[in-house]
Structure 1
Amino acid sequence: MNTITDDRQMRALTVRDMAAFCALAEPFAAGCQQEADARFTDQRPRKRKTGGGRKGVLSSPQQKLLFVLYYLKKYPTFDVLAATFGLPRSKACEHAHRLARALERTLRTQGVLPARAIDLLAQLQRVFAEVPVPLLDATERPQHRPRAVVDRAADYSGKKKTAP
């Protein structure tokens, strides 16, 4: 992580250049703190002060930001992510999800989070009005059939069995 030397390498890892990365690091630190505060208010009272306990591998906000941007760009398996950043696999999973929420919170407060929630068909038609024929990419996956005959009919797709 300390070996990133130029903008080309930073863009290859995170989609951002060094200046944009550094500009996002400070607001991201605040977003991480807000995420941590929200996480600990839902639990019983703390036994230790904030910051007590063992220090993690991802100690600085810059390391955390690099971790989550790398994860969101490359989508490696948690085994690969853990090996890349020197973490246990379970912690890589926890950090990826927690830091993604913190990044989303940060981008929302900056007002740069894209609007992607489309709830109604009318909204979809307004967003994609210039597209003549929208195509959906979907793959049907085999399902385990229920044992009860009554429940089988609801899951039947009409296709023939797949070859083993």
Structure 2
Amino acid sequence: MNTITDDRQMRALTGLDLATFCALAEPFAAGCQAEADARFSVEQPRQRRAGGGRKGLLISPEQKLLFLLFYLKTYPAFDVLGATFGLSRSKACVRAHRLAKALERTLRALGVLPARAIDSLAQMQAVFADVPVLLRDATERPYRRAQAAVDRPADYSGKKKALA
């Protein structure tokens, strides 16, 4: 956080301006604490008192939020993320997933998460009834075709050749 000098750099790394980032840091700290309390009470009992044990490299809520927003904006490999923040790849993975839960808890508490979760096509049509055109982005990927000649027509997509 100390190396970020201006709004432009903050937007490039996290997608947020400095004022929004600072406003989110305090509720995020409470969300991290609530997530840690929930994790230790449900998943496993604490081995040490709260605050005991080795101190992590991401100490402040601002560092944790920067780490998570950088990950969510750029989606680097965990090797790259760990090297950027001085963590091992496994710790980068664990931290990213735990902090994502904390961010979700924070955004839900602030009331900025969508109120809906779409589970079926009928529900999606009801939610987007007033939208004239709904575009869905998809990528066609090659996959292994069936070896038996009778099973091949079901796999045929209409494409003649794979693009090089």
The TM tier, using the shorter chain, reads: 0.7 to 0.9
Q: Deviations over 1:48-87 (max 9, x none)?
A: 1111111101011110011111111111111111111111
1:8-47 superposed matches below 5 A: 8-47=8-47
1:1-12 superposed matches below 5 A: 1-12=1-12
What residue in structure 1 maps to residue 155 of structure 2? 157
1:104-115 superposed matches below 5 A: 104-115=104-115
SS in 1 for 2:58: coil
Q: Deviations over 1:6-44 (max 9, x none)?
A: 112111111211111111111101100111111111244
What residue in structure 1 maps to residue 127 of structure 2? 127
Taking the aligned partners of 1:124 and 1:72, their CA distance within structure 2 comes to 25
- Between the two proteins, the alignment pairs up a number of residues equal to 161
CA-CA distance at 1:145 after TM superposition: 6.9
Distance change in 2, residues 1:96/1:133 (3 Å): same
Q: Which runs of no fewer than 5 residues in structure 1 stay unpaired? A: none
Distance change in 2, residues 1:16/1:42 (3 Å): same
Taking the aligned partners of 2:40 and 2:15, their CA distance within structure 1 comes to 32
What residue in structure 2 maps to residue 99 of structure 1? 99
The share of aligned pairs that are identical, in percent, is 72
The answer to which of 121-130 and 66-75 deviates more is 121-130
| TM-score w.r.t. length of structure 1 | 0.82
SS in 1 for 2:30: helix
- Whether contact under 8 Å (2:146, 2:155) holds in the other structure is no
The answer to whether the aligner puts 1:63 opposite 2:63 as a matched pair is: yes
Taking the aligned partners of 1:79 and 1:126, their CA distance within structure 2 comes to 42
CA-CA distance at 1:161 after TM superposition: 9.5
Q: Deviations over 1:75-126 (max 9, x none)?
A: 1111111111111011111111110110000000010112451123333123
Distance change in 2, residues 1:47/1:136 (3 Å): closer
SS in 2 for 1:58: coil
